[in-house]
Amino acid sequence: MDRSALEQRWFALTRTVMPALAAGRGWPVRFDHCFQRILLDNAAGGPWREQVAPPAWRNASDALLARAVALGEGAVAGSVDLAALNQASLRWRGRLRPVHPARGG
């Protein structure tokens, strides 16, 4: 997929497709910037801003953006757990305490 097509798919997924599916899927987020954060963080393996200057869609490598799009496609297809991706993103950003199974959460 060339860069232009990759960016178009990125915006279609995060601005239209995923927000339209959010309520029906019980996803923990509804807004485009939330989907973008989740997908980019997971594609980057941590907070995306540590690797890419904003705006990410313009400055991310083709490989990083392609990984983020693939994660979004997987979430749409039901093969990727968006809630789990969100948990990872929030944990990397220090917005979620780690779960301690021995203490019940």
The domain of 33 spans 3-96
103: in domain: no
Rounded Cα–Cα distance for residues 105 and 72 (Å) = 28
Q: How many domains does the chain have?
A: 1
66: in domain: yes
Tens-digit pLDDT profile for residues 44-58: 999 999 999 999 999
Q: pTM of the prediction?
A: 0.90
| Residue 77, token pair as written in the block | 């297809």
| Residue 17, token pair as written in the block | 């497709």
Rounded Cα–Cα distance for residues 95 and 32 (Å) = 19
Distance of CA 8 to the CA centre of its chain: 16
| Side-chain half-sphere CA neighbours of 84 within 13 A | 7
Q: How far apart are the first and last CA of the chain?
A: 42
Which pLDDT band, with edges at 50, 70 and 90, does 100 fall under?
low
Tens-digit pLDDT profile for residues 3-44: 999 999 999 999 999 999 999 999 999 999 999 999 999 999
